[in-house]
Structure 1
């Protein structure tokens, strides 16, 4: 399993994306959310949503408008 970046989002949106992916059976991880809060600029610093490289195509299809 190799993790790849699906995208960068604000903190709340990243968790919404993660929930959407996981509702479809795609395991995902939110990276950097804690560091955004720690430095006091959680609205400005994007966090990464990571997925397995084998799931990236399906994940992108789910989150595209």
Structure 2
């Protein structure tokens, strides 16, 4: 199992994306979701949504994002 990024999103949007993928049976996690929370810039740092490499293509289709 290897994690790959399927997109970068605003903090709140990233968790909506994770819920969408979960509803399709694809486990996803957010990285950087709490980055710089101490200095108040957490909403300016994109959150990376990561999935298993075997689920990446399906996740990108669901989300309508390109692999590049």
Please give the TM-score of this superposition, normalised by the length of structure 2: 0.88
Q: CA RMSD in A?
A: 1.3
Indicate the residue corresponding to 1:32 in structure 2. 32
Counterpart mapping for 1:40-59 below 5 A: 40-59=40-59
Kindly state the Cα deviation for residue 54 of structure 1 after the two structures are TM-superposed: 0.4
Per the normalisation by structure 1, the TM-score is: 0.91
Structure 2, unaligned runs of 5 or more: none
Number of residue equivalences = 65
How far off is 1:36 after superposition?
Answer: 4.0
- Which runs of no fewer than 5 residues in structure 1 stay unpaired? none
